[in-house]
Amino acid sequence: MAYFSKALSKNNLSKSAYEKELMALVLAVQHWRPYLLGRKFVVYSDQKSLRHLLQQRITTANQQNWIAKLLGYHFEVVYKPGSENKAADALSRMHEEVELKGIMSFPVCMQEQQIQHEVRNDPYLKKVMADLHVNPTSQPGFQLIKGRLFYHGRLVLSAESKCIPLMLQEFHSSSTGGHSGFLRTYRRLAGTTPFEAVYGRKPPTVVRFLQGETKVEAVAAELVDRDEALRQLKYHLTRAQEQMKRYADKKRKAYSFEVGEWVFLKLRPHRQQTISRRINQKLAPRYFGPFPIQKKIGAVSYKLKLPEGSRVHAVFHISQLKKAIGEYAVEPQLPEGLEIEPEHLEDPEELLASRPITKNGQRVRLWLVRWKGRAVEDTTWEDESVLKSQFPSLSLEDKAVVPGEGNDRTTTIGHVTNERPNPAVWRVYVRRGKKVGDNSVSDVAKGIPDS
């Protein structure tokens, strides 16, 4: 036994009762079509006019449309008055029995006599009460009201009162009075699930289906399929995580060092680099040393004995160390150029040109920078935000830029320099990149400064 229901649209709500009943009949037959084709079935309805459905005269186009959908079915409409059909909508309105358990909450009065006894036996509070009896203003903030001691309108308890653990339990650790801390509240709000962020409510709890929970066979089958889909999802997610871990572990190994061993040090993460990268960056040394291990700090950190005067922190993660096998000459100091003094950092000498680009979906501007002590061939394109952060004193306002109009364009660009009062003029030719179906090739040609 099963039931089927569907809400009516605004247009269908204005139709007559006969058209609504006819539409309900057609929708029900289409819903159970696999079970009704090729078989004779009986339709019970409280609409008497449906008995003559196939013999009556069709008057509207909507009726012709509905009747055409019933062709090919062998059925009989039986009229059942509403007075005899007392079980109408019984399946759709039937609810499963749910056991309800009531929750009662009521206040519990504290023992006032016990509180007063504890206050009178406390040496400090006893002295406060005695002073208040002599002079009510002798103890600021304290008041005696009907023999009870208050501080700023709140009842005072002794430091050794037995009510304090009870109050802490009720107002901090109980399910109704407990509260989460500041950081917990922040993490709870920041860790909102995608479902809650979209729909504004908690996601529904998925409870495993147990046989016998529902009497509708279609609902039971759907719940079984849902549980199977969740089981497969959990299995495949776990297998994917294990596979990623297995491939990642192939490139890792558990190792440790002993105090006194010599290791090479990878200092690249600690190098002070300017925004202008060296051309032969791949040929730079990867490890330096070796250096002896002085102390093991924690499970994965080691302190090395670096040369005197080194301006690098001596504690390093194990991932930055490599065991030295064999005999090596001990370096008296770190390699030259590893630690760069602030006064020796490279500064921009001239800003030759600028151009806008799209980076990660955002519009940014790049500047063509010529560095002090470098040749013209070593000029680099640098991000405007990086230049402002690295060189706050560098002014980028009112500088000529390369406009974005035109395929081939020539723009006169003035140098930004602090050495020459009359900057030289460059001409920069830029051609846009090749598009689909276009045989042009993007190129950038730089002219020579005008003499």
Report pLDDT digits (tens) over 218-266.
Answer: 888 888 898 999 999 999 999 999 999 999 888 877 888 888 888 888 7
- 79 within domain boundaries: yes
Q: How many angstroms separate the CA atoms of 425 and 208, rounded?
A: 76
- 154 within domain boundaries: no
Q: How many angstroms separate the CA atoms of 415 and 422, rounded?
A: 9
| pLDDT at 348 (0 to 100) | 79
Report pLDDT digits (tens) over 273-286.
Answer: 444 455 566 676 77
pTM: 0.29
Confidence of residue 399 (pLDDT cuts 50, 70, 90): low
Q: How many angstroms separate the CA atoms of 188 and 220, rounded?
A: 35
Residue 394: give the domain boundaries: 346-446
Q: How many angstroms separate the CA atoms of 7 and 26, rounded?
A: 14
- Do 362 and 293 lie in a common domain? no
| pLDDT at 371 (0 to 100) | 78
- 253 within domain boundaries: no
Does the bond joining 421 to the residue before it have cis omega, within 30 degrees of 0? no
Count of other CB atoms within 10 angstroms of residue 304: 22
- Do 319 and 350 lie in a common domain? no
Domain boundary among the residues 93, 126, 157 is at: 93
Report pLDDT digits (tens) over 352-363.
Answer: 888 888 887 788
Instruction: Round the average pLDDT of the chain to a whole number and report it.
Output: 73
- 423 within domain boundaries: yes
Count of other CB atoms within 10 angstroms of residue 409: 14
Count of other CB atoms within 10 angstroms of residue 322: 15
- Do 297 and 372 lie in a common domain? no
Average pLDDT over residues 38-56: 76
Number of structural domains found in the chain: 3
Report pLDDT digits (tens) over 104-137.
Answer: 666 666 677 888 888 888 888 888 888 888 888 8
Confidence of residue 93 (pLDDT cuts 50, 70, 90): low
- 255 within domain boundaries: no
Amino acid at 308: E
- Do 267 and 305 lie in a common domain? yes
